[in-house]
Structure 1
């Protein structure tokens, strides 16, 4: 309790703000305080966009050691993140809604877009945010303009453009616990009409979990990557952008760290201890606890990812204010994971051991063409067409050894499966400016989805063993024509304030539950997930833009909600992707940015979210306890984030910057089954830094993360065969670090 009081005091001292997280673009000028976003495929002032949007500056995020979507979710109250052993298992949530699954046959409720290119698989978006200019989080259904799904929202990442003058930047950081990062970038003109930007990154982290079985630190990573961009302007009307990137990641996240050897039933609260597991863990030197950071496995789990691709973007100003944009892109994602299935070292009766080995081979091709009309007239609009083709091939094998009659018996299974998906769409959105103050908004997206799958599993056992089902083969195909839509009204209360109301219909296409242990009842396609959303908002600024902010209230109802539901098979946990039924998320969000002086910036953001299961459809062949009116997983009732930055000049070219930020998250249920032992209690994190800045050419910053040493889990789940496990975040413990940047 004392630490929580300390956190509250820290938040008040911080001025309840996120330091300089907003992106201030070149037009309008930075002096105006305006924040420019591309949420509607145009450069617009954030205060004029009738959408709830959060914006994060890439340079500031990097200086605070926020390098992935998982990290950034700690400073954006409307966003949450589910960790997992592999990128296949990691998920982003907006307003309490996301899609938890490893099946390649399902889309994410949250669409991630990089420089206009939709990333189809969630695993493509969980690596390092290399060369990020800024990030926009568009909250609520956004399928009218963005991509093929976005029934819960969009994360729109914009990478840096070439600079107008030759610039070289070198950045390095080292942090307690054996984490280091180095990034180099060069940017500038090649000729008077061609510019380039090239950046490279290497980062590594030893980890904060100890594997007693191998003697290694785990839960760490090694990453390196390159990103390049060439922008050619052959004349005043044409801009062509060639972009490419390659990102490699190797991490050794264990498949859970034991929190408890017992389990607590829902809704009775009855505790079922497991003396056998407790004894085995004791022999392995493991003491389960809420802050356990020790495992004992036969080998270190490992995941390797390669993410790469390229795009060509054409912007052609046709005359009369019209702009034609074409984005052609191709991407691949390769994933290889070798997890320790049982997360333990000792083979015992009723506690089998297993080793998994899985690969993902994914590619996608997309083509988008859109036409934007001139602005300022009675009507302005964006219309376009979209094409996507995506193919996934996966191979997953599992070896499980059991003690039978005192002797070890090993069974093996291997599955080859994949999907082929095509998406075609026509879309558009228009604004009717009835008066200088009143605007009506209407848009829609007509969507055709085609999805097919194949699956073939061969196993040694005819009756199935823990973790391996018998041999199975199946294939199927489904087609769907559907739509997304938006309608609304926006009213300008004054030159610096406006209000809006929108109705949106979101859509996420049909799905198949294609995975290693696929069963006969998985062969039927899941119905699409649709959403209807009502949102009202107010945005404005005061004192020449020195104070700005907004507030939004919303209600979103989901039908056919696609969710993973935990089940058991021969004593092992399995999950089933189902149309879970009807859910609702509603809430109020607010943010405030203030610049009282040129030396001081303050920001604050808060989200009050009420995300509930309105009616749950128990899947066939399963006995369910009612979870109606219970919270959705990863949907805390409250999240707050705030901080301050104060720049103190020493000489004309030298300054000190003091920076602090704090965040708070209320108790959070991590499992849709509502089990009491998968609830993370409320916690708060306080960070701070001090920097010496030299005339914008160099910076040296010392930082401390999690000052109050608050321990928490970013995922809690049931272990494979028994007990409860957690995933350990990077800032589970206090640590210090040093960042340096030199710009020529």
Structure 2
């Protein structure tokens, strides 16, 4: 086992400090405290998670997990998966002009690809249902209870395999008491967010239900100088319903349906640097700069997206055993329009380029799990999993020059079937010593069809000539976990685990696919070692979790920048071997009855060990020893919440948080122009609440230091462009909530 220099020394001091001072609790910004009316005890409320497919205390499970409280996310105005990465230092997110281009990274590892022929490295699970495509997970989160971020390979307990981690999202369960709420937020920049919900008992002791809906609109924070319009905004609406049927004490059936419709108009990159004088002149009157929020384009980049699904989970108590069945369907429709040239004029040097892509994706999944009773020498969870996915896409590119118009149209599809048997057991050797053993067998079938036609018999800028191909591949993969867990005291537990990760084969299926892209990528495998400690101290007022990890990946599936038909594209390849290692700390402190402190810190040394340069690569392959993209070495989050009870039954609530990260490289080819420097974001809020009468009003301030940053930097050949985040500049908002 290879650990980065100084890790042993760092770990010893960190674990010692944690053992004396803290209890691990993830980020925990939304935790409440428990108080005894007589002794006036102040403690942090314990957190229960389902990361091990059982409801268990976070402090007792031998897994590195960060938990983010759903209520606090709602109060902070964080409504999507992408918005929580500031609070979870081990988690990063790649954005883009279309949600089809997004992906998650855990401990520096993730997959960057728009190809439907590759599965995500970090799996997203919402209420037990695995989402097969990364772009599906950008939807707005409704009725959220908590988000659990599991770090490291997962697969012995989850339906779909994940070689780097899992984001497990859990919504609130309906209650028997009838209740409802309406939440209205308005922010500068003409942004409005409305949420309302209603729930309660429909049939006494038998059926409960809940319904939640939301509407969100935003004009945007990027100005198009061509027509004076604001872009980079959105228009979202959706609803989610849940029914829980309990005919007796041994049977529970949960049915969930959701529908989300989104219209976004994020520009296809805002130019921050012109690499040639000619492009700089063509971009005028916009002038490139690191904090540029202006474009000059005659084509409006936009995305229309529909996410929908239906699931049924059956939990059946068979004596002391529990049988769980999760049956689900999800549909995803996505249409995107993108301005490829990012200019408003057409010249011989800079022809016009416009794209339109249509995607239809459907997935069907079935999971069966059996959980043994707790308390025996042997405890286990075992299961079967099947997922079928079918993707159909049409992508069209139009190239316009002063002398001609050329068009290329590609129709392509992928079909995937994944079968798995998985399980994990705990052997209780003594009351304080436990063994952990898990194993998974996965069989993947993947096939694709691709056909492109072009009006030009030869390659023109951004369009390859006619071609067609198809292929299929099937692979078997093994993954698993072994470890030991030892309780030093009743409030301190330690664990050491080894995990084997597996990610299935892939195809690089995209518009400009060529004969060199028709071969299947090999499965990605990983070996992960993790040493952790979870502690509780100071009468349950202080908590901390520390994890030290080292992971090695072989046949790493990654995108590498290349030039195809005169246009910069990304090619999905088996990039070789990479490794990531580091230390993570999550902590929370109930300092007084009124004051809570919490936060997280991660050091992640994610590097390319040996890069396999693809034939004909346009970018430099001299990247061994360089950082993996989207992986800052250091990232942290701190938060403070202070409440002031007033004599008239009102409460004043003060909150502030600060997230910080070191320099990050966004390009695996190590382009010096695609680095984002060190930056920090400071947010704060003040609220007045009357919980007896069920209302709360808050003033929120975002990015109070007015720091501009880029969550994405990429090259367009003759320029560098960036994505502009919502909080690229200081803004404020008012949030009103009424419960009834």
Other-structure match for 2:370: 371
Residues 66-145 of structure 1 mapped to structure 2, 5 A cutoff = 66-145=78-157
Task: Tell me, yes or no, if structure 1 residue 35 matches structure 2 residue 47.
Answer: yes
CA spacing shift, 1:736–1:251, aligned 2, 3 Å: same
Partner of 1:309: helix, strand, or coil?
strand
Other-structure match for 1:229: 242
1:491 Cα deviation from its structure 2 partner: 0.3
1:575 Cα deviation from its structure 2 partner: 1.4
CA spacing shift, 1:658–1:554, aligned 2, 3 Å: same
Match of 1:498 among 470, 478, 493: 493
1:543 Cα deviation from its structure 2 partner: 2.3
The CA distance in 1 between the partners of 2:89 and 2:718, in whole Å, is 33
The CA distance in 1 between the partners of 2:152 and 2:207, in whole Å, is 38
Match of 1:21 among 23, 29, 32: 29
Deviation digits for residues 330-385 of structure 1 (CA, Å, limit 9, x no counterpart): 01000000111111111122211111111110000000000000001111000010
Other-structure match for 1:667: 663
Other-structure match for 1:10: none
Other-structure match for 1:399: 398
Task: Tell me, yes or no, if structure 1 residue 307 matches structure 2 residue 304.
Answer: no
Are the aligned partners of 1:171 and 1:741 in contact in 2 as well (CA < 8 Å)?
yes
Residues 317-466 of structure 1 mapped to structure 2, 5 A cutoff = 317-319=317-319, 321-402=320-401, 407-466=402-461
Other-structure match for 1:275: 277
Partner of 1:468: helix, strand, or coil?
coil
Partner of 2:330: helix, strand, or coil?
strand
Other-structure match for 2:65: 53
Are the aligned partners of 2:100 and 2:114 in contact in 1 as well (CA < 8 Å)?
yes
Partner of 2:339: helix, strand, or coil?
coil
Deviation digits for residues 672-727 of structure 1 (CA, Å, limit 9, x no counterpart): 010111000100111110000102511101010111101100000012x4200000
Match of 2:524 among 522, 529, 533: 529
1:116 Cα deviation from its structure 2 partner: 0.4
Other-structure match for 2:672: 676
Other-structure match for 2:199: 187
Other-structure match for 2:738: 742
1:31 Cα deviation from its structure 2 partner: 6.1
Partner of 2:290: helix, strand, or coil?
coil
Deviation digits for residues 203-237 of structure 1 (CA, Å, limit 9, x no counterpart): 01111001112321000100000000000100010
Are the aligned partners of 1:24 and 1:36 in contact in 2 as well (CA < 8 Å)?
no
The CA distance in 2 between the partners of 1:118 and 1:389, in whole Å, is 11
Other-structure match for 2:274: 261
Are the aligned partners of 1:38 and 1:44 in contact in 2 as well (CA < 8 Å)?
yes
The CA distance in 1 between the partners of 2:505 and 2:159, in whole Å, is 15
1:299 Cα deviation from its structure 2 partner: 2.3
Deviation digits for residues 120-164 of structure 1 (CA, Å, limit 9, x no counterpart): 000100121122111000011112222323101000000111022
Other-structure match for 2:287: 287
Other-structure match for 1:4: none
CA spacing shift, 1:64–1:571, aligned 2, 3 Å: same
Partner of 1:61: helix, strand, or coil?
helix
Other-structure match for 1:11: none
Partner of 1:103: helix, strand, or coil?
coil
Task: Tell me, yes or no, if structure 1 residue 213 matches structure 2 residue 221.
Answer: no
Gaps of 5+ in 2: 1-24, 35-40
Deviation digits for residues 53-88 of structure 1 (CA, Å, limit 9, x no counterpart): 111111111111111111100111111111101011
Q: Tell me the C-alpha RMSD between the 2 structures.
A: 1.5
The CA distance in 2 between the partners of 1:602 and 1:191, in whole Å, is 42
1:20 Cα deviation from its structure 2 partner: 4.9
Match of 2:701 among 700, 704, 713: 704
Other-structure match for 2:627: 631
Are the aligned partners of 1:108 and 1:149 in contact in 2 as well (CA < 8 Å)?
no
Are the aligned partners of 1:601 and 1:645 in contact in 2 as well (CA < 8 Å)?
yes
The CA distance in 2 between the partners of 1:225 and 1:575, in whole Å, is 33
Are the aligned partners of 1:205 and 1:221 in contact in 2 as well (CA < 8 Å)?
yes
Other-structure match for 2:10: none
The CA distance in 2 between the partners of 1:673 and 1:464, in whole Å, is 25
Match of 2:175 among 141, 163, 176: 163
The CA distance in 2 between the partners of 1:578 and 1:19, in whole Å, is 35
Partner of 1:515: helix, strand, or coil?
coil
Q: TM-score, normalised to structure 2's length?
A: 0.94
The CA distance in 2 between the partners of 1:467 and 1:214, in whole Å, is 26
How many residue pairs match? The answer is 707
Task: Tell me, yes or no, if structure 1 residue 726 matches structure 2 residue 722.
Answer: yes
Other-structure match for 2:297: 297
Partner of 1:732: helix, strand, or coil?
coil
Residues 566-605 of structure 1 mapped to structure 2, 5 A cutoff = 566-605=561-600
Q: TM-score, normalised to structure 1's length?
A: 0.93
Deviation digits for residues 496-546 of structure 1 (CA, Å, limit 9, x no counterpart): 110000100111100000010001011110000111100000001112321
Partner of 2:638: helix, strand, or coil?
strand
Match of 2:603 among 604, 608, 619: 608
1:23 Cα deviation from its structure 2 partner: 6.0
> After alignment, is 676-685 or 67-76 more displaced?
67-76
Are the aligned partners of 1:446 and 1:482 in contact in 2 as well (CA < 8 Å)?
yes
Residues 473-484 of structure 1 mapped to structure 2, 5 A cutoff = 473-484=468-479
Other-structure match for 2:17: none
Other-structure match for 2:11: none
Runs of 4+ in structure 1 off by over 3 angstroms are 17-20, 22-26, 29-32
Partner of 1:145: helix, strand, or coil?
coil
1:598 Cα deviation from its structure 2 partner: 2.5
The CA distance in 1 between the partners of 2:526 and 2:32, in whole Å, is 33
Other-structure match for 2:162: 150
Match of 2:506 among 511, 516, 537: 511
1:463 Cα deviation from its structure 2 partner: 1.3
> After alignment, is 616-625 or 326-335 more displaced?
616-625
